[in-house]
Amino acid sequence: MILTIAHNVIFPISVIVKRGWIRMVRRYANMFPLVVMPLFFLIAFAGSFSGLGRLEGFGTDNVIDWMLPWAALQGCAFAGIGTGAFTAEDLEGGFYDRLFLAPITRPVLLAGLLAFAGARSLIPLTLVSIVAKFLGASYPTGVAGVGMLYIAGVSIAFIMALLSLALVYHFKVQRILALGQIVIFVALFLSIGQAPIRFMQGWLPYVARVNPFTNIIRFARQGLIGDITWADTWPGLLAISGLVLSFGFFALRNLFRYNR
């Protein structure tokens, strides 16, 4: 039983992750969104909004702590979208024709791509966390807070990978991934990424309240600006589960329906 699982599940997933990692390392341009973009958001917005920490009710007096998860999750989202881009290249190049002939089930194939997206997300999570520490991040809860950030970051990579794969398997072209980039930019900017809901005006607070990424950012941020509580944890877990299951359903359905 164990040998069967290792041969039919663990080994194919490890091969998919290894192949994706080799491709990513060989193409340095693919590292740009994972490294430069989250650092840009961290430094630019933390500097521009540095005075917000002095406002009563902002949530923390250190803006670096506030911006850290928002910037890191941006990089994780690109990690997921990049997985869809690699898959689109394989589809257009005919590599998937050989995969479909291999003794590997389609759910295992999808799991391998998710594992690769999760591995890619560790790059921006680690890099942003280190740079933020040099910029003055306090990490009040220590390893526990960083752990919550990593859980949220890997989950964002899964979510965006599933959305990207659902689009790629249906439309079969790489340029459709621009839609995924628009989705994540709008979702993260219309959340509590930059400011608390109490500081928003007009229609923004109404959108932020129903935006599932608000709960995910709150989940990731809680250990970085204060204590970790169940009240801030369960809404994030619920949002993550809902998005993963929803996008996962469409990704798996479109993979089974895929026909060149």
Instruction: Give the pLDDT confidence of 234-244 residue by residue, as tens digits.
Output: 999 999 999 99
Taking Cα atoms as reference points, which of 42, 118, 67, 45 lies closest to residue 224?
Answer: 67
Please say if the pLDDT value at position 45 is more than 90. no
3-class DSSP state for residue 118?
helix
Please say if the pLDDT value at position 59 is more than 80. no
Please say if the pLDDT value at position 169 is more than 70. yes
Please say if the pLDDT value at position 1 is more than 70. no
Confidence bin at 194 (pLDDT 50/70/90): confident
pLDDT, the chain, mean: 89
Maximum Cα interatomic distance, the chain, rounded to a whole number of Å: 61
Of 110 and 194, which is predicted with more confidence?
110
Query: What count of other Cβ atoms lies within 10 Å of the Cβ of residue 58?
Result: 19
Of the chain, the percentage scoring pLDDT greater than 90 comes to: 56
Amino acid present at 119? A
Please say if the pLDDT value at position 96 is more than 70. yes
Write down the pLDDT at residue 239.
97
